[in-house]
Amino acid sequence: MAQPPLPPPTSTIPPFVGLIVRILTFICLLISLIIIATNTEKSIDEDGNEDKTKFNDFYAYRYLISIVIIGMAYTLLQSAFSIFFVATGNRFGGEGFCLFDFYGDKFISYFLVTGAAASFGMTQEFKRLAGSDNKFLNTSNAAASLCLIGFFFAAVSSIFSSYNLPKRA
């Protein structure tokens, strides 16, 4: 007698795994935002005036903070959809919504990695000028690293949403 067909090798990912990855992305981006926004360095200039160095003195860190905020907003939205999926067992918006997931995850993961890369690129060069033990630059590097870890989780979400693309011929 004929055997029943075997299940396909690549099964779909359980909804709660997707939700956990989203939450981890959000936590990393949140910590990154707090670190970069609170990172200040006081210095005294030649005339004895106090001078503050903040993230908005550098293009790359301003870019990083914008990217992190955009990433957080998107991840929060997607987490809400994931909670809906876990709670009801139905995907929000149905099958067609998978395309929004796919392109959204792809764009956001590319954006997050550019934020981290731009900050690292700048910080490495400035460390050579300012000395490698500069506290402000080291703290900024920590924020960029957290953005990079957030990107890794976003890339995992992007791989999941690629597997969830509508079926083809």
One residue of 21, 113, 143, 146 binding its own copies per CB under 8 A:
113
- Is there binding between residue 162 and its own copies (CB under 8 A)? yes
Please report the beta strands in the chain, taking only residues with DSSP state E, as ranges in sequence order. Answer: 41-44, 50-53
Q: Alpha carbon of 147 to those of 28, 45, 104: distances in Å? A: 7, 32, 17
One residue of 4, 48, 89, 166 binding its own copies per CB under 8 A:
166
Comparison of 32 and 158: residue with beta carbon closer to its own copies: 158
- Is there binding between residue 4 and its own copies (CB under 8 A)? no
- Is there binding between residue 138 and its own copies (CB under 8 A)? no
Asked if residues 47 and 165 have their Cβ atoms less than 8 Å apart, the reply is no
Separation between Cα atoms, residue 40 and residue 52, nearest integer Å? 7
* CB of residue 109 to its own copies, shortest distance in Å: 8
Site for its own copies in 52-111 (CB under 8 A): 58-60, 63, 102, 106, 109-110
Tokens at residue 61, please? 């860190």
Q: Alpha carbon of 15 to those of 35, 109, 134: distances in Å? A: 31, 20, 44
Give the residues lining the site for its own copies (CB under 8 A).
7-12, 58-60, 63, 102, 106, 109-110, 113-122, 124-126, 128, 155, 158-159, 162-163, 165-169
